Amino acid sequence: MRPIVLAAALFAVLFWGGSPVGTKVAVTELPPLPMSALRAAIAAPVGVLLALLFRVPLPRNAREMGLMALCAFCGFIGFPVIFSYGVSRTSAIHAGMILAMLPVFTGAIANLTDRRWPGRMWWIGCTIAIAGEALLIFSRAAPGGEASLLGDAICVASAAIASTGYVTGARLSQAGYPSQGTTYWGIALATLIFLPFTPWMFDGIAWGTISTAAWAGVTYLALGVSMLGYVIWYWALGQGGIARIGVLQFLQPVSGLLLARLLLGEPITTTVIAASLIVLAGVGIATRN
């Protein structure tokens, strides 16, 4: 794996590590569905402007258009909406830990569509990383007082949908379609799908009472996660292989913990450090597959 591909994937994972925190801040003041639509609406003009500026083409044929539509729905509608509902019913820490399942879903879906069986090192690495995630989730060091089984289950469902979008986006990239286009035009398509429902979704929202923190959370999700993160991630998946790069998402909860410490002042205990080292070891083994 080329160093630049690995660095790009790690950069995207770092950005996404703050996604549960940003989502939690936003959904405390905005309902999940309007928040997700607003997130897409903020990102879409930027995406279209960049697509026109860099002359990123639209999908060239019906197959690419179909992949684009599926990718847009999974990545910019299905995942944000369902994940936001999950986060509103569980803790940000639990939501972040559950997103560690993304590499499992991504690798499994990719290998299933390719009709391949993952290598032994992939299985070993994933098992070790999952053990580290379990330690983080179930240890008393992980604050989970707001967590609920329903919220956790909804977050698991959102992870499966997101992984489907990742695989679809990677297929577009591998077929020669620019990874930027998957994000730029995909977010625009998602916004068009949201558009007919906006009067109903935004009805009754007291816009003047929304805090700066909530707006910052939505903006971070729109531009940092949906735009920059997706562009880099789809490129890395296409260049480094879906199963090999996808497993790096096991690092997302680790980066999320660090961001929670810096932004929210949450303590990083000995248990958290030990679990993080286990996750890192698992990622190292799995990427040798």
Each residue of 10-28: pLDDT tens digit? 888 887 888 888 998 899 8
DSSP 30: S
pLDDT in tens, 80-97: 999 999 988 887 777 877
pLDDT in tens, 192-214: 999 999 889 998 898 889 999 99
Let me know if residue 254 belongs to a domain: no
Let me know if residue 12 belongs to a domain: no
Mean pLDDT, residues 48-72: 91
pLDDT in tens, 227-249: 888 778 878 877 887 767 877 76
| pLDDT value for 267 | 64
| pLDDT value for 140 | 47
Task: For residue 19, give Cα distances in angstroms to 79, 117, 221.
Answer: 12, 31, 7
Mean pLDDT, residues 204-225: 91
Range picked from 11-25, 67-81, 131-145, 273-287 for highest mean pLDDT: 67-81
Let me know if residue 287 belongs to a domain: no
Instruction: Give dist(CA 73, CA 217) in Å, integer.
Output: 22
Nearest CA-CA partner of 29 in 218, 155, 200, 199: 218
| pLDDT value for 278 | 86
pLDDT exceeds 90 at position 179: no
9: tokens are 């994937």
pLDDT in tens, 148-171: 778 888 988 998 999 999 899 888
| pLDDT value for 144 | 44
What count of other Cβ atoms lies within 10 Å of the Cβ of residue 281? 15
pLDDT exceeds 90 at position 187: yes
Residue type, 210: I
Let me know if residue 97 belongs to a domain: yes
Tell me how many domains the chain contains: 1
What count of other Cβ atoms lies within 10 Å of the Cβ of residue 172? 24
pLDDT exceeds 50 at position 106: yes
Let me know if residue 81 belongs to a domain: yes
149-174 vs 102-114: helix crossing angle, rounded to 10: 50
Let me know if residue 248 belongs to a domain: no
Task: For residue 206, give Cα distances in angstroms to 81, 85, 134, 200.
Answer: 20, 20, 40, 14
Instruction: Give dist(CA 38, CA 44) in Å, integer.
Output: 10
Instruction: Give dist(CA 217, CA 29) in Å, integer.
Output: 11
Let me know if residue 252 belongs to a domain: no
| pLDDT value for 111 | 78
Let me know if residue 116 belongs to a domain: yes
Beta-strand runs (E) in the chain: none
- Return the higher-pLDDT residue of 90 and 49: 49
Structure confidence at residue 132 as a pLDDT band (50, 70, 90) = confident
- Return the higher-pLDDT residue of 66 and 150: 66
Range of the domain at 26: 19-120+144-243
Nearest CA-CA partner of 241 in 162, 171, 164: 171
